[in-house]
Amino acid sequence: MRERYKKILKAFFCNKLARTREKLGYSQESMAHRLAMATRTYVDLDHGKTSCSAVTLALFLIYFCDDPTAFLAELREAFEADVPALP
């Protein structure tokens, strides 16, 4: 079951990251710099080739989320839509 959560988080974060970058008009290089990572690493993350680390997630929430609670609520909805509820 944990692997399903990882897949959901990867897809969710990739989508959120790309939409945020486009909304702000940032280049991939600018996003990489703000998230303290190499541009190549960011590109892989932006395209869903890799998953985010805890540090990347924290930096994203700090610098790019006006409301981290809303981000987590959306993520929870994504988890609950794909993973059966616990008994």
Q: How far is CA 66 from CA 60, 69, 70, 72, in A?
A: 10, 9, 9, 12
> What is the predicted pLDDT for the residue at 68?
94
> What is the predicted pLDDT for the residue at 77?
93
Domains in the chain, start-ordered, CATH in brackets? 2-80 (1.10.260.40)
pTM confidence score: 0.85
pLDDT at 87 over 90: no
31 within 8 A of 41, measured Cβ to Cβ: no
* CA torsion through residues 68, 13, 55, 24, sign: negative
One-letter amino acid for residue 67 of the chain: D
pLDDT, tens digit, 9 for 90 and up, residues 16-39: 999 999 999 999 999 999 999 999
pLDDT at 83 over 90: no
| Residue 70, SS3 per DSSP | helix
> What is the predicted pLDDT for the residue at 64?
95
